[in-house]
Chains A and B, each alone.
Chain A
Amino acid sequence: MGKPTGQASLTEEVERDGRMLGLGRLGKLGTTSRKFAVVVFLLLATIIPFIAPSVYLLHVLILAHIFVIYAASWDILTGYTGQLNLGHAMFFGLSAYVVAITNTMLKTPLFLSVLMGITSALVLSLTVGLPCLRLRGPYLAITTFSFSWVLFLLASSAMIWLSGGEEGVRGVKTFVIGSIPNYYLSLILMIISVYILYRIASSETGLILKAIKEDEDAAMACGIDTTRYKLLAFVLSGTFAGIAGAFYAQYMRIVTVDVVALELSASAIAFSLVGGIGTIIGPAMGAYILTILFEGFAWLADYRVFIYNLIIVSFVLFLPGGLMSLRDLLKRKEEVEKVKEEVGRT
């Protein structure tokens, strides 16, 4: 029995992949065990400020929430649609800088600054996306990489009068004061963002995005306007990264050149690979785990870039599906055993 080929099998495969990832029924959260996990997580997240009211812990968790949005937004473009973005920090960083600069230098109200920050990330995603979405091959990866590099060059040298370079832009206003209000704000923002991204990914649109990743020609042959969907994924990705960046700017109240550094782009990839790319929930999990690990143990900070990237290398080589794929791997092993038994019998 050979592997069936052709159009029908592709759709089947996409659907099967979708089922395996719990996306089979549109909009549903999947199996009961997963629902249970979500409920437990939400409960824990809600009561944590009462059971462990440590400012430092809450700070770490707030950062984790920000990076969850950031990682999930990378995933919708690269994990789902297969369009590699090597410079995701540019959306996060541009938004953060716009918020900080408009708020401190032009004295615009914070609300307006945040809107401008997110809009700028959206506009940037269109600017980067439009010229290269019609092209195949590595153009997108190189273009996103170059754009983020240009932003880094501007922030660290050419436009240092505006960005403050290493010193950064200081004194950004904040929506709420104190770690507990900020904690809940970030938690709500994270839940809403991840929910929206997850719903889109589980919808028919998500299936189309996955189809583009698997085989763009076949998707085109099915009558899908792939360029439109790729652009949609691009804009979603850029906008949500912008939301994360804007929240970061008002929470940290200082924006330095780190927000556009290549290391931050690599972090998005590390988060996603640990959790499992193309699942939204996986990257969110990865961001949580890695941020808590590295922000929680201060002495690890010096080795963060090294370990993040070592993690990427090892996961690509040995566990490309991330932690989310472990269950499927075990299931597949069982299936293989079963088939082996059957073959042995006949």
Chain B
Amino acid sequence: MIETLLNLTVSGILIGGLYALAALGLTIVLGVMRVINVSHGAFYTLGAYFTFLFSVMLGMNYIAAFILSALIVFAVGVVYERAIIKPIRKEELNVLILTFAAAFVIEEIVKFTFGPRYRNIPPYLSGTVTFFGGSVDVQRVFSFVIAIAIVALLILALRFTKVGKAMRMVAEDEEVAGILGINVDRIQMVSFGFGAMLAAAAAALLSPIYLLYPAMGWDPLLKAFAIVIFGGMGSITGTVLTGIIFGVAEVLTGYYISPTWKTVVPFILLILIISIKPTGLFGEEE
């Protein structure tokens, strides 16, 4: 009984770490640019399909494919920001509508290029490890460890590197950052690229676990929205913790209630938090 619970919690944490990574890009773009990027899920899809292209279709090593696709999606994000976001960044309504539509455009392009059918990437590592009497795929542990390493690197980079400090300054106050000599425009471009790259990284780590299909991005996107609001908009700690909480909640619901209902769990939590404390768990009161 207790063992099952512990075992389920472990698998929940493992998947939750990846949710956190997927949501983190959204948090960074939201914090630095004050933009809700509905195309975030499309970058996730792109990341997965680029990993598929390099590792399965071109037969490259999975790690190389992972890094390559993250870099490409970073570039896509930068171009996207220049072409679409920058002209209308201040118009909140239009940004939301535009990024929503652009996500469909990207999804359709993926569909035209790779076809509508399901694809899969074989696991990079096979075998299982045992936790509290239950077994967990090594691939999941590997993906989780990499995800957490990326999150840790990101937090360190935000704290200690020049670009990271500039990003935090722009998030704090755009105008003052500009006065202090930070190139706000360029920092925002880079942040958007990073946001896209984090989505792609999460996708590359999840794609040996889940199937690929052109509309795969909506589920992580909506989950990421729920995570970002639940954790408090713009809070990195909130995002990471909520990601893990959501992962555990989902796995437990899937086991104790019904596997088909677990996909609905994040949204029940979202509606709860909006009704009770809309600023989220770690959000600042306005």
Residues of B within 8 A of A145 (CB): 38, 222, 225
B97 touches A84 (CB 8 A): yes
| A–B complex contacts, Cβ < 8 Å, 16 sampled | A84-B93, A132-B274, A138-B92, A141-B36, A141-B96, A142-B36, A146-B226, A147-B267, A273-B97, A303-B108, A306-B105, A309-B105, A310-B101, A313-B98, A316-B101, A317-B98
Does B5 have its Cβ within 8 Å of any Cβ on chain A? Answer: no
Encode contact with B along A158-170: 1 for CB under 8 Å, 0 otherwise.
1000000000000
A138 touches B261 (CB 8 A): no
Known contacts: A145-B225, A317-B84, A320-B94. The answer to whether A305 contacts B104 by CB under 8 A is yes
Known contacts: A86-B38, A149-B218, A320-B94. The answer to whether A139 contacts B278 by CB under 8 A is yes
Does A282 have its Cβ within 8 Å of any Cβ on chain B? Answer: no
A309 touches B108 (CB 8 A): yes
A86 interface neighbour in B84, B96, B107, B229, Cβ under 8 Å: B96
Does A143 have its Cβ within 8 Å of any Cβ on chain B? Answer: yes
Please measure, in the bound complex, the distance between the C-alpha atom of A150 and the C-alpha atom of B105, giving whole angstroms.
Answer: 22
**A146 CB → nearest B CB, Å:** 5
B267 touches A312 (CB 8 A): no
B105 interface neighbour in A154, A269, A313, A317, Cβ under 8 Å: A313
15 more CB-based (< 8 A) A-B contacts, given A150-B267, A158-B258 = A84-B96, A86-B100, A135-B274, A142-B36, A143-B274, A146-B225, A146-B267, A153-B264, A266-B104, A269-B100, A305-B107, A306-B109, A308-B104, A313-B84, A317-B84
Does B275 have its Cβ within 8 Å of any Cβ on chain A? Answer: yes
Please measure, in the bound complex, the distance between the C-alpha atom of A161 and the C-alpha atom of B15, giving whole angstroms.
Answer: 29
Does B63 have its Cβ within 8 Å of any Cβ on chain A? Answer: no
Interface size range of chain A in the complex: 35 or more
Does B14 have its Cβ within 8 Å of any Cβ on chain A? Answer: no
Q: Which of A292-346 contact B (CB under 8 A)?
A: 303, 305-306, 308-310, 312-313, 316-317, 320
Chain A interface, >50% SS class: helix
A153 touches B263 (CB 8 A): yes
Residues of B within 8 A of A138 (CB): 36, 92, 96
Q: Which of A105-132 contact B (CB under 8 A)?
A: 131-132
**B45 CB → nearest A CB, Å:** 14
Does A258 have its Cβ within 8 Å of any Cβ on chain B? Answer: no
A146 touches B88 (CB 8 A): no
B104 touches A309 (CB 8 A): yes
**A210 CB → nearest B CB, Å:** 14
Please measure, in the bound complex, the distance between the C-alpha atom of A133 and the C-alpha atom of B38, giving whole angstroms.
Answer: 21
Q: Which of B90-143 contact A (CB under 8 A)?
A: 92-94, 96-98, 100-102, 104-105, 107-109, 112
Instruction: Return the chain B residue nearest A150 by Cβ.
Output: B267
Residues of A within 8 A of B100 (CB): 86, 266, 269, 312
A309 touches B264 (CB 8 A): no
Please measure, in the bound complex, the distance between the C-alpha atom of A308 and the C-alpha atom of B100, giving whole angstroms.
Answer: 12
Residues of B within 8 A of A312 (CB): 97-98, 100-101
A139 touches B274 (CB 8 A): yes
Please measure, in the bound complex, the distance between the C-alpha atom of A313 and the C-alpha atom of B105, giving whole angstroms.
Answer: 9
B222 touches A131 (CB 8 A): no
Q: Which of A79-111 contact B (CB under 8 A)?
A: 82, 84, 86
